[in-house]
Structure 1
Amino acid sequence: MAFQKKLLAVAIPLLSTGVSLNAAAQPTELDEIVVSASGSEQKITDAPASISVVNQEALQQNQYSNLAEALETVEGVDVRQSTGKTGGLNISIRGLPSDYTLILIDGRRQNAPGGVTPNGFGDTSTSFMPPVSAIERIEVIRGPMSTLYGSDAIGGVVNIITKKVSDEWSGSVSLEHTFQEHREYGDTGKTSFYTSGPLIEDTLGLAVRGSVLDRSASDITFDDGSEAPKRGVAPVDGRNSHIGARLSFVPMTGHEFYLDAETGRQVYNNDECQLGTLDGRTRSCEPDTDDEADGYSDELRFNRDQLALGSNSRFGFGTWSNDLTYNVTETKGRTLPGPFGEAYDPPYQDLIGGADRELESKDTVLDTKLVSPLGNNHIATFGAQYRDTELTDGIAGTTFEQSSWAVFAEDEWYLRDNLALTLGGRYEDHDAFSGHFTPRAYLVWNTTPAWTFKGGVSQGYKTPEISDLHDGINGVTGQGDTITIGTPGLEPEKSTNYEIGAYYDNLNGFKANATVFYTDFEDKIDSGTSVTINGDPNIPDGTYDQLDNIGEAETRGIELASSWQFAQDWSVLGNYTFTDSEQKSGENRGAKLTNTPEHVFHARLNWQATDQLDLWLSGEYRGERTRFTKVKGEYDDEEQAIDNAVGDLDAYALFHLGGAYQASDKVTLTATIYNLLDKDFLSGASYTYDDGGTQETGWASDYIYQNRGMAQGGTIEQGRRLWLSATVEF
């Protein structure tokens, strides 16, 4: 029976495109249907991967400033490892750093080269997100998926599935605002809209989406009276805007072409050096004592423009999809560090201190995929990808370029009607190093209508950043004080994931699942020893920081989740994640790989009070985080003093109370009190240490590691606050 159902799913046209004019083709239980684990739609329990889904209802009932916040309650996902300089969050899956999570929209790659947002601004990538009203659901694959999606899918994949163009004109407008009880935290307001419908009945359709988020600056102080750092913890005022449109053309039944365009803009204030040290001549936050440029202007902007063209066709032999995506990402407001008006040493004499630093990436990706039943027991997926990337960094005085192509194939083989084995592999050829092959194998066994067991082995990989392979200067760190150079011989980072899971559904309102995983991480790119250059024609003489393939690590854990409809109007759901990690090589051998807490728990109680009113109470617990990802005993004097005073980052529990009221057929009002008990995150302790014979004092937070002015380890949650939202449909 399972195989016949899957064949029917493959026969439905345009399953994973998000651009069909046929609203009637929507599955009836979207929260149980996924498309990211293979080439066609299937139930979560049948998918050859560990997948979680954030459905449309959950998205509408909560406040989100970025993609990471939307995934905060997903098992195996941690978005609180650190806080980026702009106050955004990153997405870590199964204890791996956030760099190893691939972001997709309707299956199209969104990750830009990390070198375009250097020095702690990578969190801006999760803020380029369609408005919630345009999203059907978000699928999260926990574990490597490089066989289908290529580089960066080493820890997991997040796929945003957007709504299909409607066959009748409809839409919505949402207004929302967050009111802080403690006024030192900044309020946030957001306006968003989505509309879609036919331009020519059954032939041409249009969807338009947009949003604007405004955030006021926070100005908080710790319990000792010291000011919380503006780089992430007390975020600056900023604006995040997004607008996009999709044109869908169906010339005949079963064949669709689409054109999608969008633009995103983020603007953040830096007039008091909140995000980076201002250049000396314009400095307002420090004494104007030098004519030195330190790399930052008084406003930082992060821009993204994307154009996508694709087709989705159904033939007698299967479904064929093609996507061409052109993505331009840009950082503005950075400058070239160094004495004003002075040229760099040869061969970089064209670079002038204080000049604007150009940071722009251009990424072109061509994807093609065919899903086809073969015989009576096989569903095959064949595909290819070509990618061309350019990164311009003014400090390198050149444009980095690289290209790659890949072919992949998977076969979902039904050994029995209730037993499916998926075998797949991907070969990628990269112009900077030799080819790389990535396999995976996964078994799904529906033992009874109530029980499903599944597990497998999969590999992931991540190619080095385009700038990291450059033979020459490729960046600057330390507020303009330290120059970095590339390492042409870097190899891809790799992971191998082993997992086994059990899923239970009593078919009467109770569901539960458990997954055990182990990940072996190899060839991690990390800071190597400093190198001294003398006589190199590409690099001025000096000592530089450089990356190398030096890291090996392991992560392991358990993921539990369940939901129970225990009465007609009452339900409860929750999940628990245990995660452990260990660095297996390098100077920090034996230490944690990341500061992901070992224990994380989420729970939510839902009550449908009336036909119009839903209420809920949710809670979360996050265990202690390691403060330093290095071996104890290897701390410097200040780190040891901090550890003696406050130890690891503290565990905490939070509760939230919310409700949604259907005021009319077209109007929905939603309200949530976050941090219901007003948990305080501003506590800490003072410490003293010896600095070369001088006694120095400092103060350390219980919840963040103040990493000497850089992006912050850990996170500080805001105090009690009220989020209100009104959505009007038309």
Structure 2
Amino acid sequence: MMKHKNTEDNNTLDKEKSSAKSYKLNKVVATVSTATGFEQELKNAPASMSIITNKDLQGRPIRDLGDAISQIPGVSIDAGATNTGGYSVSIRGMPSSYTLFLVDGTRQDVSSEAFPNFSFSQGSFMPPISAIDKIEVIRGPASVIYGSDAIGGVVNVILKRHFEKWVGNATIETTLQEKNNFGHVAGVMLFSAGPLDSAKKWSLQIRAKESYQFAPKTFVVPIPNSQTTLTGNSSIIGAGENNQAQVGTRLGYTMNENNYFYVDAAHFNQWYDPNVFENSFFTRNNLIARHQGSYGEKGLIRTDSSMQYNSMYNQTRNRLAQDVILEHRTIFPFWRMKIIAGAQYVYNSVAALNGTAFGGDTPSLIDRHTLSIYAEDEYMILDDLILTFGGRMNVNSAFGFNFSPRAYLIYHAIENETFGDLTIKGGVSTGYKMPTITNVTPGWSSSTGKGAIRVYGNPDLKPESSINYELAIMHDTDYSDISATAFFTQFYDKIASYAVAKDGSLPAGFTCRADWGGNGTVATPSCQSYYNVDSAISYGIELALQLKPIDIVYGDIGATLSCTWNKNEATSGNSKGLPLTGIPEHTLNMAINYSYNDIFGAFLRGEFRANQLRMNVLGRTSSKDALETFYNNNPGLSIYYKPYFLLHLGGNYNITNNLRLNFGIYNLLDHNFIDYYLAKSSSNGSATTAYNNYATIYEGRRYYISVSMDF
């Protein structure tokens, strides 16, 4: 939330306020646009939403988009690491592939997943912080506006725009690890934008960013003793050497006050060493041409048209995924309503390149088409009662017709300067997610396990669907923001993976050929495929408190607190009784922030995680019965990972108006996430397998410093 300060010009009144020690603050209204496609106050948004401002992002190391939004209620990065060494994001307990990543409301990732387990790895390609205006996060389905991949939530990075003069920023940063188990990180970010002509009709924006994580001097996970033959899998953040680079540009043209055009192009490249069979090399390209118009009285009729091309290439596995997206939407007022109507066409494809092929009789190119028509109406029933309802119709070349409706009601119960604003809102929304192209391709379609396990598609898969119920209460005053949200989601036909042993039967009549790997063999030969779980549920409560910055004579001080309780589980199928994702049941984030005259600032931030079920002891073949048997044989091994508490301390100092220094100590207490237990994993009862007592191995104490210059 943006900082609130007293801006009263009346000196006499200021003195009266000071003598009375009254620190009433002018109200800054937070606005969002992701929930409906048009700008509106946060309290009027028909969804559970959070905002991360540019100022919130400054002064701390941001590894990727997951790191940037990790303090938001309902968001967890504890499900493990991505295949590029970053954070895997879960919103309300849903897998990372259920979260749609946008920039300025347009899709950035390829929806067809040319390779499994890379769904949120593309969150690593976050724009430079200086280019970002804010990040908006929707917690819960947003399939009406954004389609299939928004079944779990939406993360929308909104870039700065409309510069009256040339501005720029250059930032260099580094993170120094105290332990040799993790590699140091160095990075640079550049951003510049401004008008190209005196009339300020033409504008140009340039973005560039690169970061490099050095290889650790020692292996992150030491084997506990010589008797151990296998180390239980724990996700490791930042374990491997990797390099990320991106460059982007936007050419804008303001024809008049009613018409704005731009073309935006971006190229991303990443190399990652996962310390297993093979390194990962992949690139991504995004190109979009867009027109935004505003017409009629006061520009209340707005249009948004775009043509977009996205591609992602995995050099290691010779797979190229491509999307072509055409979309138009119109927003117009009518009586007491604001209506949004639009249409979208999406072409998805995955190609096997350089002589490789998909399994079976599948050609080297697989593709599909989706046409969608959607409409939504914001109807002001009364001045303090707003109903939003709408739906989306999808027609897909592989899965046919689907309709996803939603309805949301907002009631402004109290709007009072003394008491503050009390808003009650809630609704029912539906989600819809089609299987990826490779999910339904017969035969060997891709690989997982860092290239060691062949994945076979299942042509009998059905799309997933969900119904989400939520109820929220928000109280906003000059001094604080308080919100509480309860949610319940029912999933149908949830897609889950399962393991098949060597020579076992697979869908479409195939047999598992598991005698291969990145080095020609694998330690535990198996394959993987998919099936529809009959149903699953996710439910929880999200609490958030913000104490807005107040004047304490020598500076301003504020605080934030968020707490999430979340449970999710499959209610049928082989995974019945097990969570959909391995996230903590309890999550607590807190922070105290201090600033002095925009010269110096400091923060103390804490995070607590507890009750995360241990699910990886049986690899990809876990079931609730098998887990219970395993734990009965190993009474010393808890069914939950150990809880943990972390502290982070940091600050910033404005050396001049244009030069800023940021610094921080993360994992201040140097909590160690390497803690092994030797489990019985053989028939004779010998302890041969080591299992970590933490789901994710995070970095130890580390020191962050950055220097940022505006020009």
Q: Deviation at 1:482? A: 5.3
Q: Deviations over 1:679-715 (max 9, x none)?
A: 1111222223324x473522211102xxxxxxxxxx1
Q: Deviation at 1:477? A: 4.7
Q: Which residue of 2 aligns with 1:338?
A: none
Q: Which residue of 2 aligns with 1:674?
A: 666
Q: Deviation at 1:30? A: 8.0
In structure 1, runs of 5+ residues without a counterpart are: 1-27, 278-295, 335-357, 705-714
User: Is the 1:365–1:386 Cα contact (8 Å) retained in structure 2?
Assistant: yes
- Give yes or no for the alignment of 1:237 onto 2:241: yes
Task: Rate the CA distance shift 1:85–1:640 in 2: closer, same or farther, 3 A.
Answer: farther
Q: SS at the partner of 1:126? A: helix
User: Is the 2:631–2:639 Cα contact (8 Å) retained in structure 1?
Assistant: no
Which among 432, 435, 457 is matched to residue 464 of structure 1?
435
Q: Distance in 2 between matches of 1:60 and 1:135?
A: 10
TM-score using structure 1 length: 0.83
Which among 595, 613, 619 is matched to residue 582 of structure 2?
595
Percent of aligned positions with the same letter in both sequences? 32
Q: Which residue of 2 aligns with 1:418?
A: 384
Q: Distance in 2 between matches of 1:231 and 1:652?
A: 16
- Give yes or no for the alignment of 1:727 onto 2:708: yes
Q: SS at the partner of 1:133? A: helix
User: Is the 1:220–1:234 Cα contact (8 Å) retained in structure 2?
Assistant: no
Task: Rate the CA distance shift 1:360–1:600 in 2: closer, same or farther, 3 A.
Answer: same
Q: Deviation at 1:359? A: 0.5
Q: Which residue of 1 aligns with 2:209?
A: 211
Q: Distance in 1 between matches of 2:700 and 2:373?
A: 50
What are the within-5 Å matches in structure 2 for residues 161-176 of structure 1? 161-176=158-173
- Give yes or no for the alignment of 1:383 onto 2:366: no
Q: Which residue of 1 aligns with 2:269?
A: 265
Task: Rate the CA distance shift 1:126–1:551 in 2: closer, same or farther, 3 A.
Answer: farther
Q: Distance in 2 between matches of 1:68 and 1:57?
A: 17
User: Is the 1:215–1:239 Cα contact (8 Å) retained in structure 2?
Assistant: yes
What are the within-5 Å matches in structure 2 for residues 446-461 of structure 1? 446-449=412-415, 450-461=421-432
Give the paired residue count: 642
TM-score using structure 2 length: 0.85
Q: Deviation at 1:530? A: 5.8
Q: SS at the partner of 2:583? A: coil
Q: Deviation at 1:551? A: 3.8
- Give yes or no for the alignment of 1:303 onto 2:283: yes
Which one is further off, 595-604 or 420-429?
A: 595-604
Q: Deviation at 1:480? A: 6.3
Q: Deviations over 1:537-588 (max 9, x none)?
A: 9976668753222241111111111111374111111111110112110122
What are the within-5 Å matches in structure 2 for residues 650-665 of structure 1? 650-665=642-657
Which one is further off, 53-62 or 213-222?
A: 213-222
Q: Deviation at 1:534? A: 13
Q: Which residue of 2 aligns with 1:368?
A: 328
Letter paired with 1:333: T
- Give yes or no for the alignment of 1:521 onto 2:491: yes
Which one is further off, 391-400 or 34-43?
A: 391-400
Q: Distance in 1 between matches of 2:190 and 2:450?
A: 39
Q: Distance in 1 between matches of 2:252 and 2:708?
A: 26
Which among 534, 551, 564 is matched to residue 577 of structure 1?
564
Which among 527, 544, 554 is matched to residue 537 of structure 2?
554
Q: Distance in 2 between matches of 1:441 and 1:562?
A: 27
Which among 91, 98, 122 is matched to residue 96 of structure 2?
98
Task: Rate the CA distance shift 1:323–1:724 in 2: closer, same or farther, 3 A.
Answer: same
Q: Which residue of 2 aligns with 1:196?
A: 193
> What is the CA RMSD across the aligned residues, in angstroms?
2.7
Letter paired with 1:310: R
Q: SS at the partner of 1:88? A: coil
Q: SS at the partner of 2:57? A: helix
Q: Which residue of 1 aligns with 2:697?
A: 716
Q: Distance in 2 between matches of 1:641 and 1:694?
A: 9
User: Is the 2:213–2:238 Cα contact (8 Å) retained in structure 1?
Assistant: no
Q: Which residue of 2 aligns with 1:292?
A: none
Task: Rate the CA distance shift 1:49–1:482 in 2: closer, same or farther, 3 A.
Answer: closer
Q: Distance in 2 between matches of 1:157 and 1:167?
A: 31
Q: Deviations over 1:137-164 (max 9, x none)?
A: 1100001000000011111111111110
Q: Which residue of 2 aligns with 1:497?
A: 468
User: Is the 1:522–1:553 Cα contact (8 Å) retained in structure 2?
Assistant: yes
Letter paired with 2:171: S
Q: Which residue of 2 aligns with 1:64?
A: 62
- Give yes or no for the alignment of 1:689 onto 2:681: yes
User: Is the 2:186–2:211 Cα contact (8 Å) retained in structure 1?
Assistant: yes
User: Is the 2:332–2:340 Cα contact (8 Å) retained in structure 1?
Assistant: yes
Q: Distance in 2 between matches of 1:534 and 1:452?
A: 56
Letter paired with 2:192: T
User: Is the 2:141–2:153 Cα contact (8 Å) retained in structure 1?
Assistant: yes
Task: Rate the CA distance shift 1:720–1:527 in 2: closer, same or farther, 3 A.
Answer: closer
Which among 30, 33, 36 is matched to residue 31 of structure 2?
33
Letter paired with 1:516: A
Q: Distance in 2 between matches of 1:233 and 1:672?
A: 19
Which among 362, 368, 371 is matched to residue 402 of structure 1?
368
Q: Which residue of 2 aligns with 1:634?
A: 626
Q: SS at the partner of 1:186? A: coil
User: Is the 2:144–2:406 Cα contact (8 Å) retained in structure 1?
Assistant: yes
Letter paired with 1:241: A
Q: Which residue of 2 aligns with 1:289?
A: none
Task: Rate the CA distance shift 1:229–1:458 in 2: closer, same or farther, 3 A.
Answer: closer
Letter paired with 2:397: D
Q: Deviations over 1:190-214 (max 9, x none)?
A: 1001000011232100000000101
Task: Rate the CA distance shift 1:695–1:309 in 2: closer, same or farther, 3 A.
Answer: same
Q: Deviations over 1:288-322 (max 9, x none)?
A: xxxxxxxx4xx421100111001001111600001
Letter paired with 1:474: S
Letter paired with 2:547: W
User: Is the 1:528–1:550 Cα contact (8 Å) retained in structure 2?
Assistant: no
Task: Rate the CA distance shift 1:398–1:417 in 2: closer, same or farther, 3 A.
Answer: same
Q: Which residue of 1 aligns with 2:522?
A: none
Letter paired with 1:362: Q
Letter paired with 1:559: E
Q: Which residue of 1 aligns with 2:6?
A: none
Q: Distance in 2 between matches of 1:395 and 1:633?
A: 38
Q: Distance in 1 between matches of 2:679 and 2:505?
A: 46
Which one is further off, 634-643 or 446-455?
A: 634-643
Q: Deviations over 1:108-133 (max 9, x none)?
A: 11232454233x44453111221111
Q: SS at the partner of 1:622? A: strand
User: Is the 1:459–1:496 Cα contact (8 Å) retained in structure 2?
Assistant: yes
Q: Distance in 2 between matches of 1:155 and 1:537?
A: 28
Q: Distance in 2 between matches of 1:58 and 1:535?
A: 52
Q: Deviations over 1:606-649 (max 9, x none)?
A: 12245411111111111121011855432387666567424321
User: Is the 1:165–1:206 Cα contact (8 Å) retained in structure 2?
Assistant: no
Which one is further off, 190-199 or 388-397?
A: 388-397
Letter paired with 1:431: S
Which among 139, 142, 147 is matched to residue 142 of structure 1?
139
